[in-house]
Amino acid sequence: MFEVYLKELRELLRDRKTLIFVVALPVAIFPILFGLMGFLMSQATLDAEQKVHVYAVANESYAQSFADELFYHKSFKKSEKTYNTVEEMSEAVKAGEIDVGIVLPSDARETLDNEQQSEWKVVFNDSQSISFIFKRINDAALKFSKELQSERFTALGVTKEAQVALLNPIKVVKVDTADKRENIGEKLGALIPYLLIPLVLAGASYPAIDLGAGEKERGTLETLLLTPVTRTELVLGKFLTVLTTSLATAAITVVSMGLWISVVGNFIALEKISDALGTMGVFDLALILLLLIPLAAIFSSLVLAISIYARTFKEAQNYMGPLSMLAFMPLVVAMMPNMELTFKTAVIPVTNVALAIKEIIKGTVDYAMVGMIFAATVVVAGVLMGYCVYWFKKESVLFR
Amino acid sequence: MIEVVALKKKFKLTKDHKIKNEEHKDPRESDGYFHSVRDVSFRCERGEVLGLLGPNGAGKTTTLRMLSTALQPDAGSININGVDVVSDPLLARKKIGFLSGSTGLYGRLTAKENIEYFARLHGMDKREIKLRCDELFELLDMHSFLNKRAEHLSTGMKQKTNIARAVVHQPEVVVLDEPTTGLDIMTTQTVIEFIQGLKQQGTPVIFSTHHLDEVDLLCERVSVIDKGISCFDGSLNEFREVGQSDTLNQAFLNILQETQNV
């Protein structure tokens, strides 16, 4: 059995394709992609932030201090032309003459005197996802609005302090019992299994295809079957190889992620995350890895069984697509907000491991539950492995 | 010595197969099964070479796969030097060396590693492996490409490696399934010389082929299978006699014709 295992490993290590998937992808390619994505995102945000908008206000005199606020605002530049109606401004925005136009229909002070609200119209193109135009105008309008409020209250003889109380008689203050780790863990904890578990599957499937269908296609499987090694030993040797690469992929990813985070942490302030995760001990990390082992065994048996069944490399790859969909569904379930580890969710395979990893990262894990999940996953893995061995002994599977 | 008596093997038919073949049914199909091999018997003594002949789809490969223990026979016996190997496939695998035209090598291992791997799977220890491999490398003149990866070898080199792999454990019987199909003349010659070498050592060889000139060159005995049933088993001379022709091709056709008339 170990002869088979060692030989398969040696052969895999010489295969550039597998190495790319198992090592290069998590170590270099993913971080570079994520880094690039982050860079572009922050660049876009920065651009939007630094952009100076050309604006026009109709009937400036109705709200002079608002107009002044915009005039002196570093992000706004007044248009040289004037526009009077919403239609004119729409045309101008479409033509690119101005970025934003504001129509003041009446004198805000007079309207308020009549105990009515003024309705200002802000004309701009709202199709950009990162845009600060509306927020900035709204802020300026709010400032003016407060000014009017304050004038009114003062006229009514209400003191400044009373004004605050009158406007917001009740102030609700959050006292959060969740510590930092729990808070970040809830957000990050859902993401990490989402990243880890598909990697475990991917790390298993590429070598598995090679070890089953690949051998069939090359005609080496038949010679292997003719050696005085029992078929159980052959499958177990192959199974161990697949399990090893699967876990290696996960481990390499975790380690490289840790390294990259610490590298990036030197440039960008990630204290919040590193503080929160810093409280995660070696024990927790080991626990995550321990939970991944039976899960990797489940995936390994599945992909190996499929690969043995398939006649060719191509056929095996065709089956992998639906399988990864199957693996993703329970993951998506675990990603849903407010999903928690209960006795109900603990019986759904994959989902339970994903949730348990999340809880471990949050630091709110129930160790008895983890033990149960571990045991359940081991049982499922054992059954599937048994099935894989049975499968490998069937002539109708081997010689299709 | 190897003796095969009344081998049988059937395969379950798939649904597609049933529908497709409703009109022209193969006589071997019945009650959902395809009786690929119905009654095959032959024997091969020490130092003899047996040629297994038959049209495509006659059941040759299935028969040889049963001999090599890849498939389990439904009935019949296979006896190697007095030991029944149907009941103990692991023992049989130690006694049999198998090579076919389509068996491959592990492309990312070198020729040497390929051979050594199979030697280890056969339970040989380091010293044995070294001795046996040196012997084989010398015999097959393989030294020039031992450390090249199998994927970079020429067809001839690959077939030499395959041969070495098949006999590394010094089998008592060698089974070859169309070992020369698709090979060039040079490589075919390597295979033929290898079979002659085995013959000199006294190892019985069974091989299936469509090239009757090879049979003429190598074989003492001939066995013909048609539609899963042995229809001739005897010496080369008997083959010519029964087939009523001196040319083997004609004799073969006559024998097949005769069985169909019966």
Q: According to the model, what pLDDT value does residue A82 have?
A: 86
A330 pLDDT more than 80: yes
User: Are A3 and B118 in contact (CB < 8 Å)?
Assistant: no
The residues of A whose Cβ lies within 8 A of any Cβ of B are 3-4, 7, 10-11, 14-15, 218-220, 222-230, 395-396, 398-399
- Using a CB-CB cut-off of 8 Å, the residues of chain A touching B118 are 223, 227
- Using a CB-CB cut-off of 8 Å, the residues of chain B touching A313 are none
Q: According to the model, what pLDDT value does residue B174 have?
A: 93
Structure tokens at B96: 């049999």
B22 pLDDT more than 60: no
- Using a CB-CB cut-off of 8 Å, the residues of chain B touching A222 are 70, 100, 103
B220 pLDDT more than 80: yes
User: Are A227 and B109 in contact (CB < 8 Å)?
Assistant: no
Residue scoring higher pLDDT (A159 or B30): A159
User: Are A15 and B108 in contact (CB < 8 Å)?
Assistant: yes
B132 pLDDT more than 90: yes
How far apart CA B216 and CA B212 sit, in angstroms, is 6
Residue A85 zone, left/alpha/beta (φ > 0; ψ -120 to 50; rest): beta
Residue A187 one-letter amino acid: K
Mean pLDDT of B147-153: 91
Q: According to the model, what pLDDT value does residue B145 have?
A: 92
Within 13 Å and on the Cβ side, how many CA atoms surround B212?
17
Give the residue from chain B lying closest to A15, CA to CA: B108
- Selected for mutation to probe chain A from B10, B78, B108, B161 (highest A CB count within 10 Å) is B108
Contacts A–B by Cβ distance under 8 A: 67
**Quick one: DSSP state of residue A346?**
G
- Selected for mutation to probe chain A from B106, B129, B161 (highest A CB count within 10 Å) is B106
- Using a CB-CB cut-off of 8 Å, the residues of chain A touching B104 are 218-220, 223
pLDDT, tens only, A28-71: 777 788 788 888 888 888 888 888 888 998 888 888 888 888 88
- Give, to the nearest 10 degrees, the angle between helix A282-309 and helix A180-209: 30
Mean pLDDT of B81-106: 85
Mean pLDDT of A170-180: 83
Residue scoring higher pLDDT (B188 or A267): B188
A304 pLDDT more than 60: yes
Q: What percent of chain B has pLDDT over 70?
A: 95
How far apart CA B71 and CA B58 sit, in angstroms, is 16
If 0-12 CB within 10 Å is exposed, 13-18 middle and 19+ buried, where does residue A3 land?
Answer: middle
- Using a CB-CB cut-off of 8 Å, the residues of chain A touching B12 are 396
pLDDT, tens only, B166-192: 999 999 999 998 888 878 888 888 889
If 0-12 CB within 10 Å is exposed, 13-18 middle and 19+ buried, where does residue A362 land?
Answer: buried
Facing residues of A58 across strands? Answer: A103
A273 pLDDT more than 70: no
Residue B96 touches chain A, beta carbons under 8 Å: yes
User: Are A7 and B117 in contact (CB < 8 Å)?
Assistant: yes
Of B100, B130, B93, B127, the C-alpha closest to B115 is B130
Give the residue from chain A lying closest to B168, CA to CA: A227
Q: What percent of chain A has pLDDT over 70?
A: 95
Q: How confident is the model at residue A185 (pLDDT cuts 50, 70, 90)?
A: confident
Residue scoring higher pLDDT (A23 or B213): B213
Q: How confident is the model at residue B130 (pLDDT cuts 50, 70, 90)?
A: very high
DSSP line for B124-191: --HHHHHHHHHHHHHHHT-GGGTTSBGGGS-HHHHHHHHHHHHHTT--SEEEEESTTTT--HHHHHHH
Q: What average pLDDT does chain B have?
A: 87
A158 pLDDT more than 70: yes
Residue B11 touches chain A, beta carbons under 8 Å: yes
Q: How confident is the model at residue B25 (pLDDT cuts 50, 70, 90)?
A: low
Q: ipTM score of the complex?
A: 0.86
Give the residue from chain A lying closest to B96, CA to CA: A226
Of B258, B242, B228, B249, the C-alpha closest to B6 is B228
Mean pLDDT of B46-58: 90
Residue B127 touches chain A, beta carbons under 8 Å: no
Structure tokens at A326: 């199957």
User: Are A227 and B121 in contact (CB < 8 Å)?
Assistant: yes
Of B44, B52, B53, B47, the C-alpha closest to B80 is B44
Q: Phi and psi (nearest 5°) for B126?
A: -55, -45
Chain B: give the shortest CA distance to residue A2, in Å. Answer: 10
Give the residue from chain A lying closest to B105, CA to CA: A220
Residue B240 touches chain A, beta carbons under 8 Å: no
Q: According to the model, what pLDDT value does residue A385 have?
A: 92
DSSP line for A156-218: HT--HHHHHHHH-S--------S-HHHHHHHHHHHHHHHHHHHHHHHHHHHHHHIIIIIHHHH
Residue B41 one-letter amino acid: S
Tokens 């999340």 appear where? A358
User: Are A223 and B103 in contact (CB < 8 Å)?
Assistant: yes
Give the residue from chain B lying closest to A1, CA to CA: B121
Give the residue from chain B lying closest to A13, CA to CA: B108
pLDDT, tens only, A207-251: 899 889 988 888 888 888 888 888 899 999 999 999 998 988 888
User: Are A220 and B94 in contact (CB < 8 Å)?
Assistant: no
**Whole-number Cα distances in Å, A89 to A81, A119, A132, B190:** 11, 16, 19, 89
Q: According to the model, what pLDDT value does residue B16 have?
A: 61
